[in-house]
Structure 1
C-alpha cells in the first residue's frame, strides 16, 4: 500500500457520550508538502487490511486560529457582480422614446397629513421615538449583564469557548470563588482508559506547582474543573522534574484495578507509583510511595520520551520505554506472572533519538493470531520508525513501517500513539512548523497509509493519546496559551468528536 495523503472526507455526524464541537484542521502556508515518499526496505508483514482513505490537507482552512468546524460551508461568499449588460433594467423618463404613452396627471394632489404633520415629518418622529424606547430597553439589559459579568472575572483565564452547531464546547461554569486548572508550561501528558469497564478517560499532567495531578472525563464531565477541587489526596506525586514526560496504564490483576503512573524525577530516574483506591467521585487516592524502575540507565535530561503499555496477552505485564542517558531508547519490563523478578532492563534500540518522544501500542487479534507490541520513535535520521515484537513468533524485535523522508519532523518532538483494536493505529508527532501530524498504519501492516494535519501546538509540546468513544483522542498544549491544556478526539475519517480546552 503506498504512502498517500487523503482527499475525501466523511462529514457524517458522529454522536457519542462526548457531545462537543468540531476540530479545526489547519495547514500552514509555510508547512511541508505531504507527498508520497520512498520507504526504506523493511521486513515484510501481513498486507494491510483495508485501503487508504482519501483526504488532502488542501481541503483544510489555512491560518485559522479559532477551533471551529472545518466541514461547514463558506460564510464569506461575495455578492454577485453584475456586468453592464446584465444589470436590472431601469428607464428614466427623459430617455423614453417619442410617442411612448405616458400617464399625465392633472393638478397635483394635496399631500396627506398625519396628526397635523406631513408624512415625512411623521415618519421621522416615529423613528426617533422607537430609538428612544429601544435604547432604554437595551440599557437595562446590558446593565444587568455587566453586573453579572463583573462577578465572574476569574473565568477570563481561559479563552472564550467556541460554538459548534449552536452548542458551546465548554461545559465548565467557573464560579467567582474558583479558577480554571492551569498546567505547567511544557507539562507532560499521560492518558489511559480505566480498567473498570466504565470507559472513563484518565489523564495526568503537571500543574504550575510541579505536582502530578489526575483528572478524568466521563459523560461530558471532568472530576476536576477548578483548582479549588485539588487537594493533597488527588496529587499523584510531587518529585517529578519540571516538564517531565508522563506515562500511564490501567489494568486488572486478580480483583484489584490499578492505575499506574511513570515519570522522571530530578535525578533522571524513571519512577512509578500506583493506586488501587478510588474515591466516590472516581478520583484515585492513596498513591504508593514512588520508586525507581531502572537504576543502571537514567533518562537523559532533555528527553520527551516516556511510554508505557500493559497487557495480559503476549507480554503479560508492563513495558516501559524511555530516552536513556546512554543515547538510545531503553526498554524495561515487569511480568504479571512473576512479580518476584521486579523490573528488568531488556532491549536497547539502536539508532534511536533518545531526546525525542517514544510511544507504544499493544495489538491483540485472536482471529489472526496476532500479538504485537508496536513501539514508535524518532531515529537519528529524523524520521519516525516503528519497531515491533511478535509474541507469537517470539523471534525478537523487527523493523516496521517508517514515515516519509519528505516530512520535516521536529527534533525533540513528543510522540503519542493508540489503536482502535481493529484495523487502524494512529501516531501523532510534531513538524518543524509546530503543526501536529497524525499518521495512520495497519497494526500489522508495512507502510504508513495516510497522513492528516491537525492543529498547531506550542513548540515541543508533550503529547498523549488513547482511543476513546470512536476516535483517537490527543492531548497537547495549545499554541495560544502555554498553560492551556487542549483535548481533541477525531475519528478515522477526520470527523471531530471532541475539541476543547481541558478546564
Structure 2
C-alpha cells in the first residue's frame, strides 16, 4: 500500500496511494484464466518372486514285493549348510544390503527396489525320505533332512528383526522431531503463523514472479499512476497507466529499478510532493535479507540508495515476510518524533514523513520513522505477539490527530490499533494520548496466516478460504468499528475470484470521468499475473483484467 499527498480540503478522506484524478475505463487489460495442475500417482510396486510350492516326495515305503527305493539325490534338495542361503545385514539406514559370502558376490538387481537381493543360478535340493532294513530285519525309516541350525532364532518385531526395528524407530522419531520443530517455528502457537515456501519448480517462466510483491502509487499533478511488481526474471519494475487513454504500459528493462531483490519480496512504495519536487520511495528485501530503500525524484529520475540502507536492518528469513511503509501527513505532537535523535526543528518539514514496519522474526514487527529534513530513520517501537508472515496496514492521513496500524495476531485475527498524537489534549484511561491502544470492536477473525493488508476507502484482507474481502471501517479511536452490511468479496461479473494463498496485494481508489470513485484492488490469481479488480465505491458490478507484462 502506498500513500500520496492529501487534498487541501480537510473534510475529504484522501486516497492511500494517489491524489484524485479522472481515470477512464481500463482499455489494456486481458482476461485471466485460473489453471489447476493434477498430481501423478506412483507406479504400483510388484514382487519378482514366485510363491513357494512344496516339492513332491515319494511314500515312506514301497508296495509289497518291491525292493526298497534307492536313495537318489533329488534336484530339489535343500542346501546342506545354512551358510549357503542368501545373507543380508542392515545398514545404518535400516535398509538391507546384500553381502559377499564364501567367495560368491550377490548384487542388487537393477530391476528391483533397494533392499532386495538377487540370487544367481544354483542347485536347490529338497528333503528326501527313504527306508532300509536294519540288522534285526525291522524296517527303519531314514530322513535325510538336515538338522535345524543350532543358532537360536532371533526375535522379530512387526516382522522385522529387532535391530532393524529399533533403527527405523529411531529414524522415525528424529524425523518427527525435526518436523515438529519446523512446524513450531512456522506456525507459532495455537493457529499461529505460516510461511509459504515456494519450490523452484513453481518459479514463473513468464510474466510476474510467482508470489510477486505488488505496490500502487501515484502523485498529485502526475499524468500517470504506477504499479510496482517483481518480474519473472527477479528484477523489480513498474508499469504505469496513462490517465488519458487508460492503457497500462512499461514493465520492460527500461522500467527496471533493482536486480538484487529476494524471491517474492514484499514491496511498499510511498510517494508525495514537496513544493515542486515529487518523491517516490520503494522498500523491499534484498537477496541477503536486509530491508532496502531506493529513492527517486523528478529532478534526476534516478533511483538512488535511501538513508535506511545504512542501518542494515535484517528481516525475518522466510518466503512470506511482512513489510509496509506508510505515508504520514501530519505529526502534530507525536512523541515518537520528539524523542528522535535525528530530529531537527529548524530543518524538518514537519508535515511529511513515513512510518515503516518490517518483521524481524516470526512474531515481532519493528517500527521505524522518518521525517523530511531529518538525517536518518529512528527506531520507534517493537510490536511483539504478531504474525511476522502477514502484512501490515496503516491509516494516518485523516483530518485529526489519530493514526492507525493493523496487524494479524497469532490467532489469525486482524487487530486495529490507534494512537492519538495530539499532546495538547488531556490523557484519560479511556482515551490516552501518545499510546497505542487496541480497538477491539474492529477485529477481523479467520484471515489467511500470510494475508496482505491494505486500506484506501475500504480495508482489505485475505480470508482463510483465499478470497479477498473489503471492510468499511468507521475510524473513531476506541470506538472504531466495522460497518458489517458494507462488507464485500472481490470478484468479477461471474462471481468472487480467489487469490493465490498468501498473495501480495495493493489497493487504491481513484476518481472517474463519470464523477464517481472507483476501487482498485491488485493481486495474483494464477502466479504469472498481476490482476486488477475494479468496483465503484458505492457498489455495483465488479470487473477484472490482467496487466500485459512484457516477456523480457
TM-score range with shorter-chain normalisation? 0.5 to 0.7
The aligned counterpart of 2:157 is none
Of residues 464, 468, 475, the one that matches 2:522 is: 475
The aligned counterpart of 1:42 is none
Distance 1:404 1:387, change over 3 A: closer
The aligned counterpart of 2:394 is 360
**Partners of 1:494 and 1:329 in 2: how far apart?**
35
The aligned counterpart of 1:187 is 212
The aligned counterpart of 1:174 is none
Of residues 17, 20, 24, the one that matches 1:18 is: 24
**Partners of 2:401 and 2:322 in 1: how far apart?**
24
TM superposition shift of 1:222: 3.8
8 Å contact kept, 2:26–2:246: no
Deviations 1:293-312 (A, max 9, x none): 64355334244421111234
- 1:253 maps to 2:274: yes
TM superposition shift of 1:372: 2.8
TM superposition shift of 1:318: 0.8
8 Å contact kept, 1:308–1:321: yes
Which aligned pairs between 1:394-405 and structure 2 lie closer than 5 A?
394-401=433-440
8 Å contact kept, 2:328–2:355: no
Unaligned runs of 5+ residues in structure 1 are 1-14, 24-63, 67-179, 279-283, 420-425
Of residues 422, 426, 436, the one that matches 1:392 is: 422
8 Å contact kept, 1:385–1:402: no
8 Å contact kept, 2:358–2:367: yes
TM superposition shift of 1:237: 0.9
- 1:374 maps to 2:395: no
8 Å contact kept, 1:304–1:414: no
Distance 1:293 1:371, change over 3 A: farther
- 1:465 maps to 2:512: no
Aligned length: 310
- 1:427 maps to 2:459: yes
**Partners of 1:439 and 1:216 in 2: how far apart?**
27
Structure with higher Rg: it is 2
8 Å contact kept, 2:236–2:261: yes
The aligned counterpart of 1:28 is none
Q: Provide the TM-score with structure 1 as the length reference.
A: 0.56
**Partners of 1:181 and 1:200 in 2: how far apart?**
25
- 1:204 maps to 2:241: no
8 Å contact kept, 1:319–1:331: yes
8 Å contact kept, 1:211–1:238: yes
8 Å contact kept, 1:457–1:477: yes
**Partners of 1:201 and 1:236 in 2: how far apart?**
16
Distance 1:457 1:349, change over 3 A: same
- 1:234 maps to 2:259: no
Comparing 207-216 with 445-454, which one deviates more in the overlay? Answer: 445-454
TM superposition shift of 1:427: 1.6
TM superposition shift of 1:249: 0.8
8 Å contact kept, 2:206–2:232: no
Distance 1:272 1:404, change over 3 A: closer
**Partners of 1:346 and 1:307 in 2: how far apart?**
15
Tell me the secondary structure at the aligned position of residue 422 of structure 2: coil
- 1:221 maps to 2:246: yes
Deviations 1:216-259 (A, max 9, x none): 1132434525x6xx13x421111110000000011123431111
Of residues 450, 475, 482, the one that matches 1:412 is: 450
Deviations 1:117-168 (A, max 9, x none): xxxxxxxxxxxxxxxxxxxxxxxxxxxxxxxxxxxxxxxxxxxxxxxxxxxx
Distance 1:192 1:440, change over 3 A: same
The aligned counterpart of 1:69 is none
TM superposition shift of 1:472: 2.8
8 Å contact kept, 2:390–2:452: yes
Q: Provide the TM-score with structure 2 as the length reference.
A: 0.52
The aligned counterpart of 1:5 is none
The aligned counterpart of 1:500 is 545
TM superposition shift of 1:430: 1.1
**Partners of 1:327 and 1:237 in 2: how far apart?**
29
Distance 1:186 1:304, change over 3 A: same
8 Å contact kept, 1:262–1:273: yes
TM superposition shift of 1:498: 5.4
8 Å contact kept, 1:464–1:476: yes
TM superposition shift of 1:191: 1.1
| RMSD, aligned CA | 2.9
TM superposition shift of 1:431: 1.5
Which aligned pairs between 1:19-38 and structure 2 lie closer than 5 A?
19-20=25-26
- 1:347 maps to 2:347: no
Bigger relative CO (Cα 8 Å, ≥ 6 apart): 1
Which aligned pairs between 1:40-119 and structure 2 lie closer than 5 A?
none
- 1:447 maps to 2:475: no
8 Å contact kept, 1:401–1:448: no
**Partners of 1:496 and 1:218 in 2: how far apart?**
23
The aligned counterpart of 1:263 is 284
Of residues 298, 309, 312, the one that matches 2:315 is: 298
Distance 1:17 1:223, change over 3 A: closer
Of residues 363, 386, 389, the one that matches 1:327 is: 363
The aligned counterpart of 1:101 is none
